[in-house]
With several copies, the nearest count.
Chain A
Amino acid sequence: MSSERLLRLYREMYLIRRTEEVIADLYKEQEMRCPVHLCIGQEASPVGVCQELEPADVAFSTHRSHGHYLAKGGSLLALMGELYGRQTGCSAGNGGSMHLIDRAAGFMGATPILGATMALATGAAFATSMRQETRVTVAFFGDAAIEEGVFYESANFAVLKRLPLVLVCENNGLSTCSPLSVRQPPTRTICDMARGLGMTAVSGDGNDVLAVSQLARQAIDIARGGGGPVLIELPTYRWREHCGPGFDFDLGYRHPDELAAWQERCPMQRLVRHMEKTGVADAAALKRCEAEVQQEIDAAVRFARESPYPDESLLLAHEYMP
C-alpha cells in the first residue's frame, strides 16, 4: 500500500478518534443532550472497510455509528450539528447521535434498534440487484445485533438472491455490560453460524486496519461479483463505557487490565508501527495531518454551537414526505 494511502488511513482513524475524544470532553457541558455510543478503540473496522468501497457503494449502521458515518465520508459539521441538536445537524436535530445519515456520502442511515438496519441494507442490496446496478451495500453492527432474528431472515434472503451485501460484525465481546458467553454458545463461532446459513464468512484482526481492508477487499469483490453476501467478523474492543463519554471500570464488569491489553493493540499505533517497520513513517506528515484534523473538529464544534436550534414551529414539519 502506498504511503499516501497509509497516511489516509491514519488520518481517517485519527479523525474518528479525535472527534470522539472531543465529544467525550465536551459532553460534560451538557450541551450535547443525547445518548452517545463512542467507538474509540474500534476505528480500524469503519476505516478499513470504507476505504475499499466505491463512492457509489452505500453503508448502514446502528447506535455506535460515528466511525462508520465519518469513514464513509459523512459531513463532520453535520455530525456535530446533530449532536448539539441544531437545525444544521445531519437529521435537522430530530435524530441525535443514534440517527445519523449522509445520503450524499452514501451513508444511508444509522438507527439503534438492534438488527434492524441489516434488513434495510439487505433491501438496498436487493434494489441494486433488481436494477442490475453494481453497487455494494455494507451493514455495520455488533455482536449482539447478530442475535436478532432479523439477521437470520435477512441473511437467508441475501443468500437466496445472492445479493451484493457485506455484513460487518464488530465483535467487541460485549452487549452493554453483558459478555458474549451469556448470549451465544461457546461451541460455535459467528463465522460458523453464518456459513451454516450459506454465506461466505471470514474473520480477522479487527484492530489491524490493513488486515481489515484486505478482508474487506475480498468480501466486496465477492459480493460485487455475484458471489452473494459475505460476513466479516472483526474481534475488537471498545475502550469507553457502552453509552456516554466516560470509562466504566467502577462498574466492575471488566478490569482496567483488559483495556490496557487492548490499548497495546490500538489500531492507530499499530498502523504507525507498520509504517515505521516498512520505512514509510513520516512523523512530520502525521503531525500535520493531526493538526489539520484538530482544526476541522474545532471548526465543526464552533459551527455546531453557532448553529440555531430548530424553531418550535418545525415540530411537526418532517413527519410526512410531501
Chain B
Amino acid sequence: MKPRTLRYCQAIHEALDLSLARDPSVYVMGLGVPDPKGVFETTLGLAEKFGSQRVLDMPASENGMTGIAIGSALAGMRPVLVHQRLDFAILAMDQMVNQAAKWCYMFGGQQGVPLVVRMIVGRGWGQGSQHAQSLQSWFAHVPGLKVIMPATPHDAKGLLIAAIEDNNPVISIEHRWLFNIEGPVPEGHYREPIGQARVIRPGRDLTIVAVSHMTIESLRAAEVLAEQGIEAEVVDLRTVRPLDRATILQSIAKTSRLVAVDTGWPSCGVSAEIVALAAEGAWSALKAPPVRVTLADCSSPSTPALARRFFPRVHDIVNAGRRVVGLEPLTERAPAAGDPPADVPDNDFRGPF
C-alpha cells in the first residue's frame, strides 16, 4: 500500500490538531491564526474545532504577546505562537532571547519554558528586505533555545509535535516554498527527535549539508550531479540547535568533501558553523576546502530581476559540488520558455504571497 501523503502545510496542521486534542494546556495564537486563510492553511478550522479560547488571534503586539505566551507557559500552558513572517518576530527578540531562552538557566534549572514559536520565511514574488529574512543563525547562536527547520512533511509534523512536547523554547522556522510540497506522513502521534540530522540521500563523493528548503534544492542538485557521475550525500540538518555534530562529521569522514547550503546569509550563518565544525572536527578527513552556498550578502531585493542572483538555487549547489570535487563550474543555460520564473517555486505558485 502506498503511504499516505500530505502537503507540508497539512502536516503542520495535523501536528497542531493532534497536539491540541491530546493536551488541554496547548494553545495556538498569532495574527490571523483563526482567520479564513489560516496561516497558509496550517491553522485552518482549528478555532472552529477547539474553540476561540485555544486557537486565537491577537493584537499586533509581537513583543508583548511573546511575553504573554511565556508567562502563560510559566503558569502551566504550552503556547504555540505563530508569525506569518520571521521578520515580524524580530520585534520579539527580547522576550524570546532575554526571557524564554534564559529562564531555565538563570533560575538554576527550576522551570523550563515550553513555548513554540513558528516563524515563516518568505521568498520571491517581491518578498523584499523586510519579508524574506531567514535568521536561524541568530537563534542558533543562543543557548537555551532549540531551533528546528524541517524540510519534509514528515519532519514538519514529527518535529512540531516534539517541539510542543519539549520543555524548552523551540523556534520553528518554516520556509514558505515548502508549504506545497507533498510527502509521506504517518497518521497519528509521533515525534521526530530534536537535534538529529538525517542522511536523506547517501553518496560517496561529497557531503551536502543543507537545511529547510535548501534540502529540497540539494536533493535536486544531487540528482543533477549524479547525472554527471558525482554521488553527493545529502544531510538534512532538520535542527540547527542543538546541532547533530556526529552525523555531519560521520558523513564527511566518508566523503571527505563538504558543501554547506543554507537559506540565510553567509556571515556568521549556519553555513559558517557547519564549515567551522568540519574544519575543527573532520580536518584529516577533508580533501578539499569546504564551500558555502547562501543568500547573496545583501538585503532581499523585491524585483524578480535580481532574485536569480540573490537566492541560492539548484545550479549554485551543483557548481559548489563540482568545485569541491575539483571540477570546473558549468555555465547555466539561459532561462527558457516554460521555466518557472526565478521568484516562484514552480509554475503553479501564484502571488501575492
Which A residues contact B (CB, under 8 angstroms)?
27, 30, 33-36, 58, 60, 85-86, 89-99, 101, 103, 108-109, 111-116, 118-128, 130-131, 144-145, 147-150, 152-154, 156-157, 160, 175-178, 182-184, 243-244, 251-253, 309-312, 314-322
Q: In the complex where A126-B72, A147-B59 touch, is A34 in contact with B352 (Cβ < 8 A)?
A: yes
Query: Provided the pairs A120-B74, A127-B71, A175-B31 are in contact, do residues A312 and B309 lie with their beta carbons within 8 angstroms?
Result: yes
Q: Which residue from B27, B104, B110, B113 sits with its C-beta under 8 Å from A103?
A: B110
Q: Quick one: given A112-B131, A154-B64, A157-B58, are A321 and B104 in contact (CB under 8 Å)?
A: yes
A152 vs B62: C-alpha distance when bound (angstroms): 12
Q: List 5 A-B contacts (CB under 8 A).
A: A116-B94, A119-B67, A123-B67, A123-B69, A149-B63
Q: Give, as a whole number of angstroms, the nearest-CB distance from A56 to chain B.
A: 11
Q: How large is the interface on B (under 10, 10 to 19, 20 to 34, 35 or more residues)?
A: 35 or more
Which chain B residue lies CB-closest to A86? Answer: B303
A92 with B32: CB separation less than 8 A: no
A-facing mask of B69-107, CB < 8 A → 1, else 0?
111111111000000000110010011001100111111
Main secondary structure of the interface of A (DSSP, over half): loop
Is the C-beta of B3 less than 8 angstroms from some C-beta in chain A?
no
- B residues 101-145 near A (Cβ < 8 Å) are 102-113, 125-131, 143-144
* A315 and B306 contacting across the interface, CB-CB below 8 Å: yes
Number of A-B pairs, beta carbon distance below 8 Å:
285
Closest 10 CB pairs of A and B: A123-B71, A119-B67, A34-B126, A153-B64, A321-B112, A92-B108, A96-B302, A318-B109, A85-B303, A93-B303
Known: A34-B125, A119-B66, A312-B308. Is A93-B74 also a contact (CB below 8 A)?
Answer: no
Among candidates A89, A99, A116, A160, residue contacting B129 with C-beta atoms closer than 8 Å: A99
B21, CB-defined interface residue at 8 Å: no
Asked if A120 and B305 sit within 8 Å, CB to CB, the answer is no
> In the docked arrangement, what's the CA distance between A320 and B298, Å?
9
CA distance A175 to B31 in the complex (A): 8
Q: Known: A315-B301, A319-B144, A321-B168. Is A183-B109 also a contact (CB below 8 A)?
A: no
Please determine whether B76 and A127 come into contact, CB atoms closer than 8 angstroms. yes
The verdict on B334 contacting chain A, using a C-beta distance below 8 Å, is no
Task: List residues 257-296 of chain B with CB under 8 A from any CB of chain A.
Answer: 296
A303 smallest CB distance to B (angstroms):
16
Return the chain A residue nearest B67 by Cβ: A119
- Please give, as numbers and ranges, the residues of chain B lying within 8 Å of A86 by CB-CB distance: 303
| Residue ID in chain A nearest B79 by CB atoms | A123
* Contact among B32, B75, B127, B296 for A178, CB-based, below 8 A: B32
Q: Are A99 and B69 in contact (CB under 8 A)?
A: no
Q: What residues of chain B have their CB less than 8 Å away from a CB belonging to chain A?
A: 27, 31-32, 35-37, 53-54, 56-77, 87-88, 91, 94-95, 98-99, 102-113, 125-131, 143-144, 146, 167-168, 296-299, 301-306, 308-310, 341, 343, 350-353
What residue in chain B is nearest A126 (Cβ atoms)? B72
Cross-chain contact A123 with B108 (CB below 8 angstroms): no
Q: Which residues of B have CB within 8 Å of A321?
A: 104, 109, 111-113, 167-168
Partner of B306, one of A109, A123, A150, A310: A310
Nearest A-chain residue to B304, judged by Cβ: A33
Please determine whether B74 and A251 come into contact, CB atoms closer than 8 angstroms: no
Q: Which residue of B lies closest to A183 (CB)?
A: B59
A33-B126, A33-B304, A126-B68 known; A156-B296 Cβ under 8 A: no
- Report yes or no: B352 in contact with A183, Cβ–Cβ below 8 A: no
What's the nearest-Cβ distance from chain B to residue A275, in Å? 36
A30 near B351 with CB under 8 A, answer: yes
Enumerate chain A residues within 8 angstroms of B167, measured Cβ to Cβ: 320-322
A119 and B104 contacting across the interface, CB-CB below 8 Å: no
Q: Is the CB of A92 within 8 A of B109?
A: yes
Q: Which residues of A contact B126 (CB under 8 A)?
A: 33-35, 85, 96-98
Shortest beta-carbon distance, A73 to chain B, in Å?
16
- Neighbouring B residues of A160 by C-beta, 8 Å: 59
Complex CA–CA separation, A317 to B107 (angstroms): 12
> Residues of A contacting B53 with CB < 8 Å?
130
Q: Which residue of B lies closest to A115 (CB)?
A: B60
